[in-house]
Amino acid sequence: MNKKKHYEHMPARFQRPSITTIIGLTAFVTLFILGVTHAQLSFDRIFSGITNMLRFLSSAFPPDPSRITAISNAMYETFQIALVGTAIGVVLSVPIALLASTNTSPHFSIRVITRGIVSTLRTIPDLIWALIFVISVGLGPLAGILTIIVDTIGFCARFFSERIEEIQKGPSQALESTGATKIGVISGSIIPLGFPSFVATSLFAVEKSIRSAVVLGLVGAGGIGVELSTSFTLRRYDEALMIVILILVVVIIVEQISSAIRKKVI
Amino acid sequence: MNALSVREVSKVFKDGTEALSEVSFDIKAGEGVVLLGHNGSGKSTMFKCISGFEKTSSGEIYIGKDETTFLSDRKYRPIRKKVGMVFQNFHLIYNLSVFQNVLFGAMGQSRNFLKVSAPFASKKDREKAMDCLKRVGLDHLAKRRSDQLSGGQQQRVAIARMLMQDPELVLADEPIASLDPKAGREVMELLWEIVDERKLTVLCILHQTDIAMEFGERLIGLNKGKLVLDDAKKNISKDDLNMLYFNVDEKHGGIV
């Protein structure tokens, strides 16, 4: 066999890199170098950064537990914001994901519109949503809950929808063949088959929401973020460290619980 | 009376592939027919057209007296209730119990999904599901998750689900293709016993010519989408079957 002809059957990308690959790589390297230059990364800056960090740590130690009750209450509020927001967000994500999935959406246009909405919710960062809701409903936990709901829908509806589209159509066809209605087929096959993945995604959403809820306080959307912001502004770094430790403990506990549930469900 | 009538059915896919070409046959009520043909011969397309999962390009299909051609899903739903299906890959909801899977067979009987959900199902339906499971010899495994069962057992659950539906016509798409020879034979025996005792009509797609000759009263053969064989078992020779499977050009994946 002609050797040259034989190699012609090899996929093009194995013969030589494509123009797209070369352009992509060049763009990436250029952006990386520009990024590093723009950040003015220098030995002096890193050295002074480490010195400042050590100064902060020395003034933060030992952590100050004097306001532990107030801090704990704020942390509890953060946890509530995350839990309530995520629960509502997850529940709303299921029908939204069904409308956004190719195999369950009643119409192409509904799917496109729903996907567009979900993408928009996901693209706008949670801090911006928090600012919008603080303006809309005022300072406090309600703005935080609304932010978490929107953030959870952006995250969960997308992953739920991807899982729904991955579900093999065989079991649904089997139920359809019994004369089941569309709702019956979705409730009897799509939801149960997607359930383990929905639970896993929802638990990730809870973890994500707790971290988000902490930061939301910084813009006045309730929770421990307000306490953290105040401590830093007043340079009470020992109190700030106490808050950080408490956040860390809660986040680790939630992650452990969610990981245990995930293992059980999957 | 015919349980199924296929009249000059053709199916041409969007890419121009002609999967079925003017196929016609009738199946009388209570008849057990096996549909044979090599891969790509049009068997599965025929199956999908009969079950309404694929629309025909031309021709007519009648299930009992009802013409099903070009019916919308909604209008086809009441007809589907009369057609029980058994699939090659069982198509069970793998993470639900065997019992729940069987209960789902009654899904077409009610518009309310909750009526076939294990906690809310009526006593009558629950007892019927257990009877169906008993008939396939798996009542002792009702609580198990269906993916914890062997392939043969899962196909039995699928047969129980089909029984729960109270069908008049059974369509079986290669029901033993995923099973080892022993389990496959057991499933075929069970399916045919049930079909006989309930006097059901069955159209079963098979690849195993020996099994087809053993169980089918009548054999239908497709080749390149055309009906090339339709006769009672007693009139069919081994040569007829060999022609069906081996006189195939390479393009269609067979042996010349």
Within a domain: B144: no
Sign of the torsion angle spanned by Cα atoms B157, B160, B161, B162? positive
DSSP H or E stretch at residue A40:
none
Nearest to A174 among B78, B79, B85 (CB): B85
Residues on chain B touching A182 (C-beta within 8 angstroms): 73
More confident residue, A2 or A137: A137
C-beta atoms of B93 and A177 within 8 A: no
pLDDT score at B256: 37
- The first and second tokens of residue B178, run together, are 């995923």
pLDDT per position as a tens digit, A194-238: 999 999 999 999 989 988 888 888 887 777 888 888 888 888 888
The pLDDT-based confidence of B250 (bands split at 50, 70, 90) is: very low
Q: How are beta strands B218-223 and B226-232 bridged, if at all?
A: antiparallel
Domain span at residue B173 reads: 2-94+167-247
Distances from the Cα of A258 to the Cαs of A19, A109, A178, A205, B182, in angstroms? Answer: 45, 36, 38, 10, 44
Within a domain: B188: yes
Residues on chain B touching A187 (C-beta within 8 angstroms): 113
Which B residues 45-64 touch A at CB under 8 Å? Answer: 51, 53
pLDDT per position as a tens digit, A98-144: 999 999 999 999 999 999 999 999 999 988 998 999 899 888 888 88
Q: Indicate the range of A156-170, B110-124, B148-162, B164-178 predicted with least confidence.
A: B110-124
Mean pLDDT, range B79-102, rounded to an integer: 92
**Residue A193 pLDDT > 90, yes or no?**
yes
pLDDT per position as a tens digit, A40-95: 777 888 888 888 888 888 888 888 888 888 888 988 988 999 999 999 999 999 99
* A143: closest CA of chain B, how far (Å): 37
Instruction: Encode burial over A229-264: b for 16+ CB neighbours within 10 A, e otherwise.
Output: bebeeeebbebbbbbbebbeebeeebeeebeeebee
pLDDT score at A3: 59
Instruction: Please give the order of strands across the beta sheet that includes B66-67.
Output: B18-28, B2-12, B58-63, B66-67
How would you write A142-154 as a 3-class SS string? HHHHHHHHHHHHH
Within a domain: B148: no
Q: What is the percentage of chain B residues whose pLDDT exceeds 70?
A: 96
Q: Which of A177, A181, A191, A198 to mutate to test binding with chain B, by most B CBs within 10 Å of its CB?
A: A177
Residues on chain A touching B53 (C-beta within 8 angstroms): 173, 176
Q: Decide if A259 touches B, using CB distance below 8 A.
A: no
Give A131's contacts (C-beta < 8 A, 6+ positions apart): A219
Q: Decide if A49 touches B, using CB distance below 8 A.
A: no
Distances from the Cα of A151 to the Cαs of A89, A137, B146, in angstroms? Answer: 8, 17, 36
- Interatomic CA distance for residues A239 and A71, integer angstroms: 9
Which A residues 127-186 touch B at CB under 8 Å? Answer: 170-171, 173-184
User: In this structure, which amino acid lies at residue A221?
Assistant: A
Within a domain: B28: yes
Question: For the residues of A112-127, what is the DSSP string, one character each?
Answer: HHHHHHHHHHHHS-HH
pLDDT score at A2: 59
**Residue B136 pLDDT > 70, yes or no?**
yes
- Interatomic CA distance for residues B155 and B193, integer angstroms: 15
Within a domain: B201: yes
pLDDT score at B73: 79
Within a domain: B124: no
C-beta atoms of A178 and B81 within 8 A: yes
Conformation bin of residue A94: beta by default, left when phi > 0, alpha when psi is -120 to 50: alpha
pLDDT per position as a tens digit, B184-201: 999 999 999 999 999 999
Nearest to B21 by CA among B55, B58, B51: B58
pLDDT score at A4: 63
Tell me how many domains chain B contains.
Answer: 1
Residues on chain A touching B93 (C-beta within 8 angstroms): 171, 188-189, 192-193
Rounded CA Rg of chain A: 25
The pLDDT-based confidence of B178 (bands split at 50, 70, 90) is: confident
Instruction: Detail the DSSP E strand segments found in B64-175.
Output: 66-67, 83-86, 169-173
For residues A147 and A89, the answer to whether their CB atoms sit within 8 Å is no
Q: Which of B74, B85, B91, B163 to mutate to test binding with chain A, by most A CBs within 10 Å of its CB?
A: B91
The CATH number that applies at residue B174 is 3.40.50.300
**Residue A17 pLDDT > 80, yes or no?**
no
- The first and second tokens of residue B112, run together, are 């309310």
B71-77: long-range contacts at Cβ-Cβ below 8 A with a sequence spacing of 24 or more? B73/A182, B76/B52, B77/A179, B77/A180, B77/A181, B77/B108
Rounded CA Rg of chain B: 18
What ipTM did this prediction achieve? Answer: 0.88
Sign of the torsion angle spanned by Cα atoms A87, A92, A95, A96? negative
Within a domain: B141: no
* B165: closest CA of chain A, how far (Å): 7
Q: What are phi and psi of B106, to 5 degrees?
A: -90, 10
Nearest to A192 among B95, B107, B165 (CB): B95
pLDDT score at B77: 86
Q: How are beta strands B2-12 and B18-28 bridged, if at all?
A: antiparallel
Residues on chain B touching A176 (C-beta within 8 angstroms): 53, 80
Mean pLDDT, range B113-120, rounded to an integer: 81
The pLDDT-based confidence of B247 (bands split at 50, 70, 90) is: low
Comparing alpha-carbon positions, the chain A residue that sits nearest to B100 is A188
The number of angstroms, rounded, from the C-alpha of B142 to the middle of its chain's C-alpha atoms is: 24
Within a domain: B107: no
For residues B68 and B255, the answer to whether their CB atoms sit within 8 Å is no
pTM: 0.80
DSSP H or E stretch at residue A107:
none
